[in-house]
Amino acid sequence: PLPIAAVLRSRGVMTFLGVWMVINLATGLLGFAPGVDGQIAWEAHIGGFIAGFFGLRFFDRRRLPPTP
């Protein structure tokens, strides 16, 4: 995996993150369907994404070299 600093310098990654954030905020604040009173917990989605992004290092398995 790439280091976090390299990932955050990637234009493609930053574009995806920006679009993803806007979609989450729009669906959370405006809702999807007219007449539906319940709101999506957009804060939880964003918090889970950030925790997963920065916590990935702890769950990523290191690949062992092949055995001869």
- The yes-or-no verdict on residue 15 having pLDDT over 90 is yes
- Give the pLDDT of residue 40: 67
Interval 17-61: pLDDT, tens = 889 888 877 777 776 666 666 666 777 878 888 888 888 777 766
Calpha distance 68→51 (Å, rounded): 38
- Give the pLDDT of residue 64: 63
pTM for this one? Answer: 0.55
Tokens 């925790």 found at = 51
- Give the pLDDT of residue 58: 78
CB–CB of 34/56 below 8 Å? no
